[in-house]
Amino acid sequence: MIIVEERLSPVEIVRRALGLYQAHATVLLGICVAAYVAEHALGLLWGPLGFVGSFVVDGVVDLTITLLAIAWFLDTDLPAETALRASAGEVAALMSAMLPIWILTLAVSGGVLLAAGPAITAFFHRFDGITQLLLLMWGVVGLFVVFGCIASIINMLFMFVPQAVLVEGNRWTAALDRSVRLLWSNLGTVLVVQLLLLVVFAVVPPLVFPIGKLLGGKVAVAIVGIVTQPLHALTVVLLYLDSRAQNDDLDRQDLRRTIEVLTAPAV
């Protein structure tokens, strides 16, 4: 039995992700809150440890939600502790696959800065006083926008890497290649889903920021991240399953066997 007999529309993918979120909100939010606490605890111990630890913790969260989402999609009862244990065992493979992505992002961003730096400097020297200061401020904002766009494009290209590592057992560049191929096969749906998520996520800050007046702005920002992370992760999993079903004739039995192997007790 094919998982998706017809290609899911972007609206249907977001609707199903919201349905899974609503049905399992306690588990999902609990995972994200625990991850947030762990990241900040590592940061308090040592700043660089918190920076590196955030990547590892986020990787475990992505893998755990992937396993749980697939199990829920199959109407299978999978304890969160079991999914967490299985995900922790695969996080090293995920980090090794993600390392080239981080290097690529830094290299492209640095290349843009080095290429544009001299021209920007020469342009600023043509002005004096307040005009130069204003242009500098807008230039910094513009660079942040450019770097953000570069990072967003690279992240989208490799959005299926956690699933390629966990579900398919791909390693290193094979996981990167698999992610790009799946994205390209379903590019239109992915782009529309990302736009729909932006609309959904735009509703969250106005609801949460009043809390910031009571508990502080950092708390409000943390809440926004915790609330939106599960929905994004669920959506990526559903996009992955939709792409696999259309390209590989993936069926439920294949997924059940994968879940059983990944969550089997260590001998």
- If you average pLDDT over every residue of the chain, what do you get? 80
Q: What is the pLDDT of residues 145-159, one digit of tens each?
A: 777 777 778 788 888
Q: Which of 54, 8, 81, 82 is nearest to 261 (CA)?
A: 82
By CB neighbour count within 10 A (0-12 exposed, 13-18 middle, 19+ buried), where does 161 fall?
Answer: buried
* pLDDT higher than 80, residue 160: yes
pLDDT band at 266 (very low <50, low <70, confident <90, very high): low
pLDDT score at 234: 92
pLDDT band at 7 (very low <50, low <70, confident <90, very high): low
* pLDDT higher than 90, residue 28: yes
Q: What is the pLDDT of residues 178-221, one digit of tens each?
A: 999 999 888 888 999 999 998 888 888 777 777 766 766 677 78
Task: Give me the count of residues in the chain.
Answer: 267
pLDDT score at 101: 76
Domain ranges of the chain: 10-263
